[in-house]
Amino acid sequence: MLFIAGAYKSHMTTWGILSPESLTYILFTNCLLCLLSLHQWLWKVVWAVLCLSSGLADYFLTNYGVEIDRDTLTVFFQATPKDVGAFNITAILFHLIPSLLLAATGWFVIKPSRDFSPMRSRGLLVLALLMGAVGATGYFAWPIVGKSTPYNVVAATYGYYQYTRELDQAIKSRKNIGDDAGVFTENATQPLSIVLVIGESARADHFSLNGYKRDTNPLLAKVNNLVSFTHATSCGVMTHTSVPCLLTRATATNWIPAETETSVISVFNALHFDTAWFGSQGDFSLSVPVSYISSEAQKKVILYAADGGRSPYDGQLLPYLDQALGTTTNHFVVLHTNGSHIQYAARYPKEFERFPANCKEHNLSLAQRMFIITNSEVKSNQKFRYKTTDMFDDCASSIDTLINSYDNSIVYTDWMLNQVISRLQHTNAIMLYTSDHGESLGENGKFLHGHPEEVNNWQVPMIVWASDTYIQNNPQRWAALQSYRHKPVSHDHIFHSLLDCAGIDSKLTDPSLSLCR
């Protein structure tokens, strides 16, 4: 049993069975086995759960390079049945077979002693404590052991449970900052419309507006009254951290307000704006602040995947925007788009394939949302086809076609933003666009996002556009916005700029974080 437990984790083969890390792992494992031996059903149930969860963890690690931690479990628990169906079930079963054999061995071959005498129980406890104590010493010396299966699964599950519990408490006791909304001072004759478009996984350096060699912004390049901030950074590298951050008073260095306060939407509500949230990303689980924040809007529409499984295109949000803008009041509308979310080729209709990607349409699976691939093939020859077809299918037979499909999704975003602008052209309006975070496209062997060490995960496009009427009414604010074109700006500015640029005099606003000053 010592050998099986010690050798089960794949790291053991590289560390060597007798390395200090392996020894710590084995001590922990045997401490656990001693404790499980205290009761027959404790042994059977926990052993089976550990074996099966370890098999699943191994599937994600070997196929996607995904380490199981709290964040990956958060994404996992947000999965819909359709997402789960998009996995490669055969590959999962293949990974579960050794786990099932190990579980069966524990159930039917290894028979725990039926001696439950106090003396034996005390002996097992003492043994467990001894091994646990020595193992704990090793754990602090080599914390990587805590990231090894099955301990990472246990730690991640506990972390997720703790996170959701704390978050639920924080959400229930959130302070409604709408109570301190202040005053809407603008006295224009036309109602004011503010549209915030939140993109997904778009990189600043793939926008030709920012100097990208490919013409990915053919439409926006011709638009007047548009400023593309060339040095913008995101608040985080994951959707569920960046989106709440940019909508609240949270900043990259202080995320707490994202959980303890309502968002900018509640401020516009308090000032009698019509507020709306239209999203094409599907809903998030109730444990994620995005869902709570989007529910602050008076009108909320979330588009889900159609029956065919394809996620909706962002352009499908436009009729809802038309409806929202149809009233004669002030508006604050959030469009939460799919942007350049993997799979890139599924983000745009065929006619937007400006760069040859030769992709079929794809379904968005949970696997794609779990973000990380570190495939050695990619590093070695820059040509890759993943072991399973979950990730890119025929879409990415090379890095070149992967980037082509990614750039096509930017071209579609260019069209989408141009559509939004065309709807606001003759009104008193301002539009702000930014992506929630960037994306890795093979640099350092990394893909997708969730890599805080990669600058391309932080560098995001940020664009502001204003109508002629807005500029006439707000010449100083427009001049201030333009002055930031090449200065460092970030998601930290968005909450304060939305209020300040709207002409809302509020003590919630930090003037030093307003782009209209």
Question: Residue 317 Cβ, how far from Zn ion at the closest point, in Å?
Answer: 16
DSSP annotation of 312 reads P
Q: How far is CA 260 from the centre of its chain?
A: 20
Stretch that binds Zn ion, among 212-220, 282-290, 433-441, 465-473 (CB under 5 A): 433-441
Kindly state the tokens that stand for 179. 């109570």
User: Which is nearer to Zn ion, 243 or 429 (by Cβ)?
Assistant: 243
Nearest to 420 by CA among 313, 297, 276, 321: 321
Q: Which of residues 184-203 bind Zn ion (CB under 5 A)?
A: 200
Rounded Cα distance, 21 and 365, in Å: 35
Q: Which is nearer to Zn ion, 178 or 279 (CB)?
A: 279
65: amino acid identity, one letter: G
Tokens representing residue 47 in the block: 């052993």
For the chain, percent helix, then strand, then coil, each to nearest 5?
Answer: 50, 10, 35
Q: How far is CA 81 from CA 85, 94, 309, 479, in A?
A: 6, 21, 11, 50
CB of 201 to Zn ion, least distance (A): 5
Q: How far is the CB of 370 from Zn ion (least distance, A)?
A: 12
Nearer CB in complex with Zn ion: 152/239: 239
The interface mask with Zn ion, positions 144-183, x = CB under 5 A, is ----------------------------------------
Query: Nearer to Zn ion by C-beta: 107 or 255?
Result: 255
Q: Is 457 within 8 Å of 437 (Cβ atoms)?
A: yes
Evaluate whether 124 touches 34 at the Cβ level (below 8 Å): yes
The site map against Zn ion for 203-242 (x = CB under 5 A) is ------------------------------------x---
Using CB under 5 A as the binding rule, whether residue 436 contacts Zn ion is answered as: yes
Tokens 């089976």 sit on residue: 48
Shortest Cβ distance from residue 198 to Zn ion (Å)?
A: 9
Least Cβ distance, residue 245 to Zn ion (angstroms)? 12
Task: Name the closest residue to Zn ion (Cβ).
Answer: 239
Specify the residue, 200 or 393, whose C-beta has the smaller distance to Zn ion.
200
In contact, 366 and 84? CB cutoff 8 Å: yes
- Site residues for Zn ion, 354-383, by CB under 5 A, read none
Q: Shortest gap between Cβ of 406 and Zn ion (angstroms)?
A: 14
Classify residue 322 by burial, with Cβ atoms within 10 Å: 0-12, 13-18, 19+. exposed
Residue 490, CB half-sphere, CA atoms under 13 Å: how many? Answer: 17
Full DSSP string of 22-61:
HHHHHHHHHHHHHHHTTSHHHHHHHHHHHHHHHHHHHHHH
Give the shortest CB-446-to-Zn ion separation in angstroms. Answer: 15
9 in Cβ contact with 61 (< 8 Å) = no
CB of 241 to Zn ion, least distance (A): 9
In the structure encoding, which two tokens stand for residue 328, read together? 């004669």
Sites for Zn ion among residues 235-294 (CB under 5 A):
239
Q: How far is CA 162 from the centre of its chain?
A: 19
SS3 state at 515: coil
CB of residue 10 vs Zn ion: minimum separation in angstroms?
A: 30
By CB under 5 A, how many residues form the interface with Zn ion? 3
With residue 331 as reference, give the H or E element that holds it.
Answer: strand 331-336
Contact 184, 504 (CB under 8 A): yes
Binding mask 383-422 for Zn ion (x = CB under 5 A): ----------------------------------------
Cα 499–Cα 323–Cα 423 angle in degrees, nearest 5: 70
Q: Which is nearer to Zn ion, 239 or 291 (CB)?
A: 239
Q: Name the residue nearer to Zn ion (CB basis): 206 or 331.
A: 206
CA nearest neighbour of 375 among 347, 335, 402: 402
Least gap, CB of 432 to Zn ion (angstroms)? 17
Closer residue to Zn ion in complex, CB, 103/238: 238
Q: Where would I find the H helices in 271-389?
A: 289-294, 318-325, 366-369, 376-381
Q: What span, in angstroms and rounded, lies between the C-alpha atoms of 371 and 391?
A: 10
CB of 437 to Zn ion, least distance (A): 5
Nearer to Zn ion, 239 or 401 (CB): 239
The nearer residue to Zn ion, 71 or 436, going by C-beta atoms, is 436
Q: How far is the CB of 417 from Zn ion (least distance, A)?
A: 17
Q: Which is nearer to Zn ion, 372 or 481 (CB)?
A: 372
By beta-carbon proximity to Zn ion, the closer residue of 24 and 239 is 239
Contact residues toward Zn ion (CB under 5 A) are 200, 239, 436
